[in-house]
Amino acid sequence: MERTNDMWLAHLRNGHPAQTAAIEDLLQHLRRGVLAYLYTRTDLNHLDKAELQQMSNDFAQEALLKIQGNLDNFQGKSKFTTWASKIAANTTISELRRAKWRDYSLDAITETGSSLQEVLDFPQAQLSAPDTASERRHVWETIEHVINHELTDRQRQALLAVRVENIPIAEVARLMDTNPNNVYKLLHDARLKLKRELQALGLEPEYILKLYS
């Protein structure tokens, strides 16, 4: 059954008579995508097919919970299944990272980082380089999409100038023909919007958004 975006939103809500069927159809879709991604991971080559299938099922289930919890955040800018697949992809990467780095302290890792690139560039001895590059690229693409499409022009200018280019607040205010207090307000609003949008896409706030604090 081919569902429209509105049908997915309605059928996945609690109490709808078609919820069970919609959940199973969405899970099948998510499992296929997650499993295909897991097969590309060179660091998972040691796992057999059954283990990868179980992982895809677990990650798809976790993504489903996030999707159902964010139905009101779906804006209809793409097909619902495309949006759901992005959440599943981010959930999968997040879960794989958590498994690798469970002994790391996020506070210790991020407290000295001044930019996103610094924090994402973990020592290569700790990770498989091709997989790490792929994950960093995926995360960057997601963040760039949110920055370029969800922030206002001035929010984007302030965020990139201060947090990426490391330009002093006073100089940013001069360049933007405003005052430092307004730049701080732009940064505050940009962080809140980033947090909301990235959460809706399944990226963990403590992993990404703390970098902008």
| Distance (Å, whole) CA 130 – CA 213 | 29
Residue carrying the six token digits 């490391």: 166
**Count of domains forming the chain:** 2
In this prediction, residue 25 carries a pLDDT of: 96
Q: Of 85, 100, 115, which one is at a domain's C-terminal end?
A: 100
In this prediction, residue 162 carries a pLDDT of: 82
Tell me the pLDDT of the chain (213 aa) as tens digits. Answer: 689 999 999 999 999 999 999 999 999 999 999 999 999 888 788 889 999 999 999 999 999 999 999 999 999 989 999 999 999 998 888 788 766 544 433 333 333 333 334 333 333 334 344 455 566 667 677 778 888 888 888 888 888 888 776 778 888 888 888 999 999 999 989 888 887 887 777 776 555 544 333
Q: For 82, which DSSP code? A: H
213/165 same-domain check: yes
Domain containing residue 49: CATH number: 1.10.1740.10
36/67 same-domain check: yes
158/181 same-domain check: yes
| Distance (Å, whole) CA 149 – CA 107 | 29
Structure tokens at 151: 């922030």
In this prediction, residue 36 carries a pLDDT of: 92
In this prediction, residue 142 carries a pLDDT of: 79
180/127 same-domain check: yes
86/119 same-domain check: no
118/185 same-domain check: yes
34/114 same-domain check: no
Q: Of 77, 100, 123, which one is at a domain's C-terminal end?
A: 100
| Distance (Å, whole) CA 124 – CA 122 | 6
Q: Is-contact 43 128, C-beta < 8 A? A: yes
**102 exposure class (CB count in 10 Å sphere: 0-12, 13-18, 19+):** exposed
In this prediction, residue 135 carries a pLDDT of: 61
In this prediction, residue 98 carries a pLDDT of: 67
Alpha helices in 79-128 (DSSP H): 80-100, 106-110, 116-120
Q: Is-contact 60 30, C-beta < 8 A? A: yes
Q: For 46, which DSSP code? A: T
For the chain, the straight-line distance linking the first and the last C-alpha, in angstroms and rounded, comes to 45
53/110 same-domain check: no
In this prediction, residue 120 carries a pLDDT of: 34
Q: Of 100, 130, 159, which one is at a domain's C-terminal end?
A: 100
| Distance (Å, whole) CA 55 – CA 135 | 18
Q: Count the residues in the chain.
A: 213
Q: How far is CA 91 from the centre of its chain?
A: 8
What domain range includes position 8?
Answer: 1-100
**1 exposure class (CB count in 10 Å sphere: 0-12, 13-18, 19+):** exposed
Structure tokens at 113: 């980082």
Structure tokens at 76: 């209809």
